[in-house]
Each structure stands twice: as structure tokens, then as C-alpha cells.
Amino acid sequence: MNNLDKFIKLGTAGEGTYGIVYKAKNKVTGKSVALKRIKLEKFCKEDHTEGVPSTAIREISILKGLRHSSIIELQDVMYTSDRLYLVFEYLELDLKRYLDGTSKPVDKELIRSYIKQLCEGLAYLHTHRILHRDIKPQNLLVDKEGHVKIADFGLSRCFSLPTKSYTHEVVTMWYRAPELLLGSKMYTNGIDIWSLGCVMAEMFNKRAMFPGDSEIDQMFKIFKILGTPTEENWPGVTTLPQYEVSFPKWKATELKTHINFNDSEEEEFLKLMLVYDPFVRNTAKALLGTGYLKKAKLTAPDMKPFPDTTEEYC
């Protein structure tokens, strides 16, 4: 029996750019796993290269060295003649599907617990000089016990100090930090913190806070709420490649007029993440020291609407 024969495929759990994710069961342990299948021949044909997609290589190399309760665990890597399988621990669904599938507002203590776990995970990544670069609800997995884990490290990369020049074409647009939208190629862990702030706002509203349909629309949706950035609140912003002096001059508005907060403490905490100047934006470690997160406890959500999210496999 080869390694792949140890698993029984139970259904499809999702589909990504380079392959399908299956829910499977380990015949030996009886535990559920997520099998991410990547077709190598398709990749080779389309990209005229040989080997494994760069996103898969990056994900494997990064996750092999990580062990944290808030980061998805890569348990094994298996090859066949034309496919690569990544074996992950299994969680019921992603945060996006959870938010879309619940009719009631998300419990305030669950939001607090999720954000604390995610800050712990990001603090661990950033301490190891790893940027995730694609924090969004679809890449955050949750289970029935109240855990949330960071997944999909295909766009992640290691960073060094002093910072180097990186591509700004990262992070799904709705969660992309303003320095990226304005074309900065010099950035560090602040881009993950901005994305987490957008995720937190989405947990309150059950919809994306800045749903732009283009880069300029994305910037303007941010500016209309937080105000058009200036040299006063973001030194150096006018020198960024995509900044235009002709930008409309919007004034900042109160976040509570756009977000369904439960109390002022939540609003004050979110403001620490949605800060224009990346050098002022709080780090994950600093956020963990706030009173808001110190009160967090692991809270199990009501997952009754999701007894099984996988589709029948055939």
C-alpha cells in the first residue's frame, strides 16, 4: 500500500488555482484530513515549465518549518507520476462560508477569540520573518470547537531586515493594504495587520468593508471612510508611485457609522489596525498586549448549520 492508499476520499472541500481540495479519512488513524491535489502535467503544459507550481513549492517550504495552534498543519507531501498531494489537518469550513451561512450576527466573544488566535498566529509568522500576504476570510479555517487557523501560504514569503523591494501585486484586493494599492514595493508585516483589520470588520458586518472592483475604486472606498491620506497622517505618502495630487479630498468619518460594533472597545481596537502609516500600524505582538485581547477566551460557535460541507465524491 503506497501512502495515498492510506486515505479514503469522502468529498470535495474546495477548489483552488492549481487543484482540488478533498476531505479524506486516514484508514489507519481514522482521522479526517484535507488532501490538496495539484496536477503537475496541467501546470507544465500551461506554463511551459517542468516541476511543481511555485506557489506549491513556497507553501511546502514554509509550512514544513511551522508549528503553531493557529496555523494549518501540513502533515505530509505525496507524489504520483503526474500529481502532487499535500495532506493537511481538516477543519470544517473557512470563515467566509461560516459568515455567509449564519443568519445571526457573530457573537462578540467569538470575534474576540478569533482575532486573538489570528494575532497569535501572525505574531508567530512575523517573528519567523514570514509574511502571509493573503489574509482573507477564505484563507482562515474554523472548526466546531472555536479554533481558527491561517491557511493557504501560496503567496507567502520570507522577509529580511532591512526590507527589500517586493511586488505590490499581492493580497486579494478587498483586503489589500493602502501602501500596496499605492504601489509601494517596500513593505513588511503591516500588510497582514491591515488585512486582519478588514477581516474583523467583515465579521461585524457580514460583508466586506472595502469591496472595490478595481485598484482605484478600492483606494477610493478606503479614502471615503478613513479620509484621503496626507503627509500629516502618513509621511511620505505623496511620493508613492500611484499617489496622485488630484485625488478627491475626503474627510475621515467615524468607523461606528459603517460597522456594527457591539461596544466602543471593539471600535478602538480596530482603529489600531486600520492605520494608514504602516510604521504606526500596530504589530500583532502589540495587539496581543491590548486590554481587548487579554479578555479573550476560546469560544465554541454554534456550527449546527454546517453538519458536513463536503460534496458527494464520485
Do 89 and 150 contact (CB within 8 A), yes or no? Answer: no
CA angle 17, 219, 165 (to 5 degrees): 65
Cell of residue 300, nine digits:
465554541
Contacts of 130 (CB under 8 A, 6+ apart): 62, 66, 156, 157, 158, 159
Given the residues 94, 100, 134, 308, select the one marked as catalytic.
Answer: 134
The single-letter DSSP state of residue 67 is -
Q: Is 134 a catalytic residue?
A: yes
Please report which helix (H) or strand (E) contains residue 34, including its range.
strand 32-39
The sheet carrying 83-89 orders its strands as 74-79, 83-89, 32-39, 19-26, 7-15, 311-312
Angle between helices 108-127 and 264-271 (to 10 degrees): 20
Q: Which residues are catalytic?
A: 134
